[in-house]
Amino acid sequence: MKTGEGKTLVATLAASLNALTGKGVHIITVNDYLASRDHASMSPIYSLLGLNTGLIQDDMAKLERKKITMPMMTGTGKTAEVEFEKIYKLSVDEVPTARPTLRKDLPDLVYKDQFLKWNAISKTCNEISSTGQPVLIGTTTIEKSEMLAELLNEYKLSYQLLNAKPENVRRESEIVAQAGNRGAITIATNMAGRGTDIILGGNSIFSLQKELYDILTLSRNYALSKGMNIFQSPLKSQFKCTSQNFLSVLLSLLKDPVFLELSDIGILRALKQNDTNSIPNLSYQRSIKFLIDELKAHYNKNQKQENQIVKNLGGLYIVGTERNDSRRVDNQLRGRCGRQGDPGTSQFFLSLDDNLLRLFGGSKVQTFFQSQMLDDSPLESEFLTRSLDSAQQKVEERAYQQRKNLFDYDEVLNKQRNVVYSERTKILNKESLQKNIIAYGEQLITDLLLEMTVKNYSTKQIISLFENLFDKHFLVNSDTKPIGFQQYLFNEFWLIYQTKINEFKVHGDGFCESMERNVSLLNIDFIWCKHLQEMSLLREAVSWRGYGQRNPLYEYKREALQAFKEQSRVVKRLIINEFLSSSVL
């Protein structure tokens, strides 16, 4: 489905069918705002189906990567089909739209320089706005959005500026939702407001909440300060909805002591919570819900009229100020208009010194364009469109290779991570780790004997090393054969280990098992953290080996495996050494 065709609502079918089988379902959105909004708006639907819903945001998520295969819906995933399939093993299937798309995607206009381009954009906005058709302008940076705002000031046009500045973030969804108002001009960075439906004629919900907030705060403050009924004042004439039911419920609300104690922020919070609170518990919440329903009837009638007027004007007009590195971002901007069968128009304004054309268009493309532009008029051609598509594909391919390279390196560490986490889980779930400790000890003895035999250590040196390791003096003949000496060390280790178990049993049942578990986990975690630091340094080091005609990824995999094997040996040695040398003070 394309952007704006109702993915959030359609996703309820797939999610509910899977959830009803008893499986958990994750519905993924692009940011925390959309996750919170969808959770609030769609929870009642899932509740009617007998399903529980929860919310996970970035600050709640675990840092470790979890590979979960699940269905997802996006309006712009077709251009990244290869990446989804090769890296994530996910197929991309197109779902036909419920209604025919009426959006007109006009050809791109290319100007000689930035000056001509921005002047053309501001002039176009002035011409379109004069007809009453709403305009949404997508910019790539905050600086460019503010520069365009200054140009629109010269035409004395009113507009809404939406970018990533803190003062605009809180009103992001409201500004974008009202971008469909007749005569509205909205300047936004391309990523701002994604996922918020732009309803032609304006979003009555935001207007309704704003008016009711003004009514409630004004009425409450007037009643508290003047000590009189607001209906006896001239302020009553400012209310748009003056039905008898509305006024009587408002009057009773102003007598509610719980409501009168609310601050302005508390009133705003109560209005916001109305969407999620299907069955209000408090009397003032029920009154607010009734007032909202009364206002809805008034606003819906006007909104339908405005919606039809804006449709007749051609719907929302999208202006792109330059092509982005990714076709997906361009498609997302185009998808702000023509949603769910609405009419709309989109057009991009470009210049020869835009980053995309300058870096990836090539000198031949630049020369061709310059020769075709004899005056200040823009250029349109099929060759132009192909060149832009080719430039975007080059950028996407480069970005894909970077992500794939990152994925390949991370996959090496992820496999090691799974081994370590699996071992930790086994340790946590086992009641006793005696078999593990014995296996670690025997493996340690075998590995050290093999290593010292290869390095031609003398028997005296071998005995000295194991005496330091087990902190015990061994009585063994220097002429003992390696196999006999290995069995002797096994027996000594078992005796030392059993002695330590008996020592800890004095302190109560389960104390020894707790000591084994704590020592094991602490050493595994310590060595794993150290291993991660070493892998980070190794990754930087192997990147230089490409200059020596060696594959950095192969070198990384080879040395990472060696480091992981060494880490395993070190962990076992530390666990044995610390447990046998531990004591209770």
- DSSP states along 18-53: HHTTT-------SSHHHHHHHHHHHHHHHHHTT---
Could you count the other beta carbons within 10 Å of the beta carbon of residue 141? 14
* Whether 157 and 296 share a structural domain: no
* Whether 69 and 143 share a structural domain: no
CA–CA gap between residue 78 and residue 167 (Å, rounded): 35
pLDDT at 41 over 70: yes
Q: Is residue 96 part of a domain?
A: no
CA–CA gap between residue 338 and residue 180 (Å, rounded): 11
* Pairing assessment for the beta strands 343-351 and 160-162 based on DSSP bridges: unpaired
- The contacts of residue 16 (CB under 8 Å, 6+ apart) are 46, 49, 51
Q: Is residue 97 part of a domain?
A: no
* Whether 408 and 538 share a structural domain: yes
Q: Is residue 364 part of a domain?
A: no
63-114 tens-digit pLDDT: 434 444 556 677 777 777 787 887 777 888 888 878 888 899 888 888 888 8
Provide mean pLDDT across the span 241-249: 74
pLDDT band with cut points at 50, 70 and 90 for residue 147: very high
Who has greater pLDDT, 428 or 23? Answer: 428
* Whether 225 and 286 share a structural domain: yes
Among the ranges given (94-98, 233-237, 457-461, 522-526), the one the predictor scored with the smallest mean pLDDT: 233-237
CA–CA gap between residue 158 and residue 271 (Å, rounded): 28
* Whether 192 and 275 share a structural domain: no
* Whether 134 and 154 share a structural domain: yes
Q: Is residue 449 part of a domain?
A: yes
Among the ranges given (234-243, 319-328, 445-454), the one the predictor scored with the smallest mean pLDDT: 234-243
88, 117, 137: which is the final residue of a domain? Answer: 88
61, 88, 115: which is the final residue of a domain? Answer: 88
What is the predicted pLDDT for the residue at 164?
63
Query: In the structure encoding, which two tokens stand for residue 277, read together?
Result: 């609170």
Provide mean pLDDT across the span 309-328: 89
What is the predicted pLDDT for the residue at 192?
56
Over pLDDT 70: what percentage of the chain?
82
CA–CA gap between residue 180 and residue 184 (Å, rounded): 7
88, 122, 150: which is the final residue of a domain? Answer: 88
CA–CA gap between residue 10 and residue 257 (Å, rounded): 43
The pLDDT mean for the chain works out to 80
* Whether 499 and 531 share a structural domain: yes
Who has greater pLDDT, 258 or 313? Answer: 313
Q: Is residue 94 part of a domain?
A: no
Query: In the structure encoding, which two tokens stand for residue 313, read together?
Result: 């004007």
**Structural domain total, the chain:** 4
CA–CA gap between residue 502 and residue 349 (Å, rounded): 82
What is the predicted pLDDT for the residue at 60?
42
pLDDT band with cut points at 50, 70 and 90 for residue 433: confident
Q: Is residue 230 part of a domain?
A: yes
Top-ranked range on mean pLDDT: pick from 114-118, 465-469, 489-493, 547-551: 114-118
pLDDT band with cut points at 50, 70 and 90 for residue 61: very low
Amino acid at 49: L
CA–CA gap between residue 316 and residue 344 (Å, rounded): 5
Of 150, 143, 142, 141, residue with least CA distance to 122: 150
* Whether 184 and 326 share a structural domain: yes
Q: What totals of helices (H) and strands (E) does the chain contain, helices first?
A: 21, 7
* Whether 154 and 20 share a structural domain: no
Entry pTM: 0.63
Of 535, 523, 529, residue with least CA distance to 572: 523
CA–CA gap between residue 564 and residue 472 (Å, rounded): 30
* Pairing assessment for the beta strands 343-351 and 102-105 based on DSSP bridges: parallel
Provide mean pLDDT across the span 53-63: 56
pLDDT band with cut points at 50, 70 and 90 for residue 466: confident
Residue matched to tokens 């704003």 = 210
Give the CATH number of the domain where residue 322 resides.
3.40.50.300
Which one-letter DSSP state was computed for residue 164? S
Could you count the other beta carbons within 10 Å of the beta carbon of residue 294? 19
Among the ranges given (14-23, 359-368, 492-501), the one the predictor scored with the smallest mean pLDDT: 359-368
What is the predicted pLDDT for the residue at 126?
93
* Whether 300 and 322 share a structural domain: no
Identify the domain containing residue 293 by its residue range.
204-309
CB-count burial class (<10 Å; 0-12, 13-18, 19+) for 150: exposed
* Whether 559 and 458 share a structural domain: yes
CA–CA gap between residue 297 and residue 111 (Å, rounded): 48
What is the predicted pLDDT for the residue at 8?
77
Provide mean pLDDT across the span 335-341: 84
Long-range contacts of 550-553 (CB under 8 A, 24+ apart): 553/405, 553/408, 553/409
Who has greater pLDDT, 276 or 16? Answer: 16
Contact 1, 92 (CB under 8 A): no
At 350, is the secondary structure helix, strand, or coil? strand
Q: Is residue 13 part of a domain?
A: yes
Q: Is residue 142 part of a domain?
A: yes
Cα angle: 288, vertex 294, 298; to 5 degrees: 135
* Whether 515 and 537 share a structural domain: yes
Over pLDDT 90: what percentage of the chain?
12
**Paired strand residues for 161:** 187
What is the predicted pLDDT for the residue at 478?
61
CA–CA gap between residue 373 and residue 384 (Å, rounded): 13
CA–CA gap between residue 36 and residue 508 (Å, rounded): 50
- The contacts of residue 501 (CB under 8 Å, 6+ apart) are 434, 512
